[in-house]
Amino acid sequence: MKKILSVSLILACCFSAVAGNKNILPYKDASLPVEERVEDLLSRMTLDEKIAQLNQYSLGSNDNVNNNGEMVKVLPPEIGSLLYTADDAVSRNAMQKRAMEETRLGIPILFGYDTVHGYRTIYPIPLAQGASWNPDLAGEACRVAAQESYDVGIDWTFSPMVDVARDPRWGRVAEGYGEDPYLTSVFGASAVKAYQGDDMSEPGNIAACLKHYVGYGASEAGRDYVYTEISRQSLWSTYLPPFEAGVKAGAATLMSSFNDISGTPGSANHYTMTEILKEMWGHDGFVVGDWHAVKQLVTQGMAPDDATAVEYAINAGLDMDMTDNLYMPHLASLVESGRVSVDRIDDAVRRILRIKFRLGLFEHPYVEEKPENERILLPESLDVARRLAEETFVLLKNEEDVLPLKPGQKVALIGPMAKSQKDLLGSWHGRGLAEDVVSIFDGLSEVLTEAPAYAAGCGFEGDDRSGFDEAVKTASEADVVVLCLGERYSWSGENASRSTIALPEIQEDLLKAVKAAGKPVVVLLSNGRALDLTRISPLADAVLEIWQPGIMGGPAVASVLTGKTNPSGRLTVTFPYTTGQIPIYYCQRHPARDGSQGRYQDIPSTPMYEFGYGLSYTSYDYGTLTVSADSFTVNDTVTARVAVTNAGDMDGKETVQWYVCDPYSTITRPVKELKHFEKKLIPAGESCTFEFEIDPMRDLSYVNWKGERILEPGDYYIIVKDQKVCITLE
Ligand code: NOJ
């Protein structure tokens, strides 16, 4: 049978070549439309060649401790994709050469990698990027990441992560943009466009991957890899919107998630992968499973054996198997026994080939081997990383204007984070190196006339308080203390859940001890999640959240502390009062009783710092909120406007956050929902007008549990800061 097949294939090849009157096979002809090339190539492939395209193996030593599993010894050159963990183009090109020259059809391999917040020029973690409220600037950073990745031979990044996450115990909150579906959608779409550019085949562009599809952020109790209980309504209103926005932005691929979505794991979920993504949204790229997600269908208690896991996954719509090495050995017999159809295989192969063609891999399979100084840590890349870091910092408290530091002040720099380099990188730091990072100490030393006096005080955790005395002495000899606390880079990210979001006691004790020296204390926090600051905030005169800012963290901190840059970050995750308030997020639905009922007896029921919160060194006065019409029809657009004046004496960037509220609706709706935001520089003393063009269907409607968009007549509120106006849909 196989022989007959290959003879007919050879004949088909010759025929097309002659029929096209060219010396080139149609699928190799770049002048033909992608779809024609895909169909031509597919028609020439054997079942084994097709199945090979549906696998991703791993090339190079693995640098993620959670990606454990068997490494493949022999890499077949017919393979669809490789997870490429080496760091130069040489081995990549060598492997590609085998695919191009030693295989029958010469189909290039797709090289994927986790370039999450930078490849070598590591910029702030995604959670921090969200806090910048500047998706364009975050996009600039993604461009740098794409260029550095492309130059080393990466065609495809497993980013952006657009999981809405509302439990800071879950370590992966660091990898997303926060708790809000709209803000996550905007940043996700911006990242997709930045990675892919207008045309993925242009040099420097790489394919994006929206992950983890879907609902991974709902991990129960903040533990990783566990069950998620997600109603169809929450799926549609909370977890799907960022994926839909990313698909609309053109995302080439999606990664199916590990989590069990109310009884059906994301990687075996026909409803999400096929019915929603491919049928309703018309996505024509492909879905890759997360690392070992197919095998895990067995662990999750769904498939009794590997073959059944493969059957469930591929039939649900998972096109490429990441490093499980299960599609390769099982698919042919599943096809033979009729458990998987050839049509499904063809559909999956088409999707993968389409992306390879769109990336221009058939025309440009190899990457130019450039010297490091032409491709990584370029001055303009460092500049983007610094500017982005500066905009992500959130000033949470600033009593008596202790910040910015005053010229000539003697600064004591204390704490375990002060000289740390690696921790500022955060999790998933690609090929970033600790030695690339400018520490807070080095950054400040650069700009202060007198280098800060330094004492570590203690480690990040443990009981060794022997450094406290020196820290207190250093504090007492200074005019102001900058105390650098926070989380190690490995305390967030994958498989990094924590049962409490408070910092270890020793760090809180260091603050107490240093505070007793009687000097103003600025607490600088570097971390990958919302923290419980109940015992920290009251003792601090100022608190600056710097997240995990990447390699330019030190200079960015120096610029903000000294007032060269006015802090403009705003939280995109609620900081609970304590861990016990979780889940707490701004867009909760109305409770049945309000006032004093339904409250905690032992702690406040309001958060410590809410979504959207952040201070500045200047103050902004908001004028009266106006709307262009009080009532409207579904086809009208209403414009809401507010003028904002910078009433202080320092230039600053203000983000106006526009929320809507539908007070009464057939299904209950959140107390308010972010629908638009804009960040602008307002010079001191000047005013700027901000606008929100309200498209009723887009901005006021809701999506029901079936994914239908519903707009109901009645009143809606448009909310900005503490003002709201009512508009009525006739
Ligand atoms: C597992 C993670 O969940 C995913 O985010 C990542 O892209 C893959 N491993 C590949 O490293």
Q: How does pLDDT run across 290-306, given as a tens digit for each residue?
A: 999 999 999 999 999 99
For ligand 1, the distance from its centroid to the CA atom of residue 97, given in whole angstroms, is 27
Q: How many angstroms separate the alpha carbon of residue 147 from the centre of ligand 1?
A: 21
Q: Which atom of ligand 1 is nearest to the CA of 211?
A: 5
Which is catalytic among the residues 290, 319, 321, 423?
290
Cβ–ligand 1 contact at 494 (below 6 Å): yes
Task: For the chain, give the mean pLDDT.
Answer: 95
Is residue 67 very low, low, confident or very high in pLDDT (cuts 50, 70, 90)? low
DSSP structure string for 470-524: HHHHHHHTSSEEEEEEE--GGGSSTT---S--BPPHHHHHHHHHHHTT-S-EEEE
Which pLDDT score is estimated for 14? 40
669-696 pLDDT per residue, tens: 999 999 999 999 999 999 999 999 999 9
Answer for the pair 647, 596: CB distance below 8 angstroms, yes or no.
no
Tell me, in angstroms, the distance from the centre of ligand 1 to residue 162's CA: 13
Q: Among 117, 159, 290, 321, which residue has the most ligand 1 atoms within 8 Å of its CB, making it the best to mutate?
A: 290
Q: Evaluate if residue 4 carries a pLDDT over 60.
A: no
Closest CA to ligand 1's atom 1: 291
Q: State the pLDDT at residue 56.
A: 96
CA of 186 to the centre of ligand 1 (A): 22
pLDDT tens per residue across span 146-188? 999 999 999 999 999 999 999 999 999 999 999 999 999 999 9
Ligand 1 near 67 CB (within 6 A): yes
Average pLDDT over residues 240-246: 98
* Cα of 290 from ligand 1 centre, angstroms: 6
How high is the pLDDT of residue 644? 98
d(CA 511, CA 182): 37
Q: Residues 596-604: what's their mean pLDDT?
A: 95
The residue whose C-alpha atom lies closest to atom 4 belonging to ligand 1 is: 290
- Percentage of the chain exceeding pLDDT 70: 95
Distance 407 CA to ligand 1 centre (A): 46
169 lines ligand 1 (CB under 6 A): no
Task: For residue range 689-708, list pLDDT tens digits in order.
Answer: 999 999 999 999 999 999 99
Say if residue 5's pLDDT is above 80: no
Residue 16 — pLDDT band, cuts 50, 70, 90? very low
Query: Sheet containing 286-289: which strands, arranged edge to edge?
Result: 209-213, 253-256, 286-289
- When pLDDT is cut at 50, 70 and 90, the band that residue 3 belongs to is very low
Ligand 1 atom index nearest CA of 116: 7
Angle at 108 between CA 91 and CA 378, to 5 degrees: 50
Q: How confident is the model at residue 74 (pLDDT cuts 50, 70, 90)?
A: confident
Position 86 scores a pLDDT of 74
Let me know: does 219 contact 263? Beta carbons within 8 Å: no
Whether the CB-CB separation of 543 and 533 falls below 8 Å is answered with: yes
Long-range Cβ contact pairs of 701-704 (< 8 A, separation 24 or more): 702/237, 702/662, 702/665, 702/667, 702/669, 703/236, 703/237, 703/241, 704/233, 704/236, 704/667
Distance of CA 30 to the CA centre of its chain: 34
Q: pLDDT of 313-353, one tens digit each?
A: 999 999 999 999 999 999 999 999 999 999 999 999 999 99
Q: To test the ligand 1 pocket, which listed residue (63, 64, 154, 170) has its Cβ within 8 A of the most ligand atoms?
A: 64
Q: Structure pTM?
A: 0.96
pLDDT value for 594: 86
pLDDT digits (tens, 9 = 90+) for 34-52: 999 999 999 999 999 999 9
Measured CA to CA, the distance from residue 115 to residue 599 in angstroms comes to: 43
- Give the pLDDT score at 58: 87
Would the CB of 163 count as within 6 Å of ligand 1? no
The verdict on whether 290 is a catalytic residue reads: yes
| Ligand 1 atom at shortest distance from the alpha carbon of 159 | 7
* Max Cα-Cα span within the chain: 88
Distance CA 60, CA 502 (A): 38
Residue 124: name the closest of 380, 388, 492, 376 by CA: 388
pLDDT band at residue 18 using 50, 70 and 90 as cut-offs: very low
